[in-house]
Amino acid sequence: MGSSFGQLFRLSTFGESHGGGVGVVLDGCPPRLPLTLEEIQRDLDRRRPGQSRITTPRDEPDRAEILSGLFEGQTLGTPIAILVRNTDARSGAYEDFKNTYRPSHADFTYEAKYGIRNWQGGGRASARETIGRVAAGAVARALLAHAAGVEVLAYVKQVWTIGAQIEPSAVTLEAVEGNIVRCPDAAAAEHMIARIDEARRAGDSLGGVVECVCRRVPSGLGEPVFDKLEADLARAVMSLPASKGFEIGSGFDGVTLTGIEHNDPFTTADGRVRTTTNRSGGVQGGISNGEDIVFRVAFKPTATIRQAQQTVDRSGQPVTLAAKGRHDPCVLPRAVPMVEAMALLVLADHYLRQRAQCG
């Protein structure tokens, strides 16, 4: 099962939504990196359920336990194991459809692959698996900030058809965390929240777009040809639950421009080579060029909704399904730290690979 990620900065996540707990084993983190449990917990708190009325009401504290790899406030260079115990799983809510395939879920495909599936909350297919990624991402955040001053910040750019007017270079963490939808455009955020509330009351769900900006990334990260930086970023974020699309820089809008309109001219500023525009999104030829890396991830509407839907059971018989349980009417607010985590993990891995190759 594909539960490991990375080459030098390598992690393996474990656990199911309604099992005893979830977590991660992270290998390859350099020794003597200052790290505290509070740094890890800070990112987990942004991902945890029950944050607001527009997220799932599942009440999990998501308190991290560091089992190994840390001593006296520093990493040891040995595997770091982090565990978060499940405390509020209500498996009975899933009893009625343990033999039913929920529309747009992984129920049928997991069973087709393994011949067995954990029907309690989706098992490994649940977004609860991402706890391990976010915890490992917090370690990567500390490594990148300590080594190179890198900052990674994601935010909600669009919910349903409601878009925000955002300049990535100007976004701050305070603005992102200033409202429950995590959109730094306060006016757009109000409309987003109202629309999510409306969908929640109707037993429906909404999708949207998370944008991420990575600042002060050193130039030279990325491995041609198959391990291009944007290719690894795409693979990373597209492994997140509910993700359906990826674009970097100008993305799909770039097809409406001509070459002269799209090219990023070079100049010299502050004693180094820069580009005057950033339609490349900080990556050229698969390698970081020192500009902000800006990319976007599209997330589908949450698959579990309260409205009745037509499906079939394991014997192929038609069934009408009205899902129970506790679910997000929109995954976007909690997807923000997940997107950050995956970007951090990719950048940390490529940073170590570049250091190992070129010093």
Q: Give me the mean pLDDT over the 330-337 stretch.
A: 97
In a domain, 301, yes or no: yes
Residue 120 lies inside a defined structural domain of this protein: yes
Query: Is residue 281, in this structure, part of any structural domain at all?
Result: yes
Mean model confidence pLDDT for the chain: 94
Which pLDDT belongs to residue 131?
97
* Average pLDDT estimate for 323-348: 91
CATH number of the domain to which 274 belongs? 3.60.150.10
Q: What is the predicted pLDDT for the residue at 242?
A: 96
> Residue 56: pLDDT band by 50, 70, 90 thresholds?
confident
Q: Are 121 and 325 in contact (CB under 8 A)?
A: yes
Q: What pLDDT is attached to residue 90?
A: 72
Q: What is the pLDDT of residue 75?
A: 98
Express each pLDDT in 95-141 by its tens digit: 777 899 999 999 999 999 999 998 887 889 989 999 999 999 999 99
- Judged against a pLDDT cut of 90, whether residue 322 lies above it is answered with no
d(CA 179, CA 193): 9
Domains contained in the chain, number: 1
**Amino acid 325: pLDDT:** 60
| Position 87 in a domain | yes
10 found inside a domain: yes
Within 10 angstroms of residue 259's Cβ, the number of other Cβ atoms is 6
Query: Does a structural domain hold residue 250?
Result: yes
Residues 6 or more apart whose CB falls under 8 angstroms from that of 18 comprise: 86, 89, 91, 94, 118, 120, 121, 123
- The answer to which of 108-117, 131-140, 227-236, 280-289 has the lowest mean pLDDT is 108-117
| Contact present, 57 and 156 (Cβ < 8 Å) | no
Residue 280 CA to residue 289 CA, distance in Å, equals: 9
Confidence of residue 292 (pLDDT cuts 50, 70, 90): very high
pLDDT at 248 exceeding the cut of 90: yes
Tens digits of residue pLDDT in 144-157: 999 999 999 999 99
Q: How far lies 288's CA from each of 139, 152, 155, 299, in Å?
A: 21, 14, 21, 25
pLDDT greater than 60 at residue 88: yes
Looking at residue 120, what is its pLDDT? Answer: 84
Mean pLDDT of the region 171-188: 98
Is 1 inside any structural domain? no
Contact 130, 241 (CB under 8 A): yes
User: Is the predicted pLDDT of residue 270 greater than 90, yes or no?
Assistant: no
User: Mean pLDDT over residues 71-87, rounded?
Assistant: 97
Residue 92 has pLDDT above 70, yes or no: no
Residue 324 included in any domain? yes
Domain containing 64 equals: 6-358
Tokens of 212: 């991420």
Least confident span in 29-38, 47-56, 132-141: 47-56
Cis (ω within 30 of 0) for the bond into 150?
no
**Contact (CB, 8 A) for 159 and 143:** no
- pLDDT at position 68: 98
Given a cut of 80, whether residue 324 has pLDDT beyond it is no
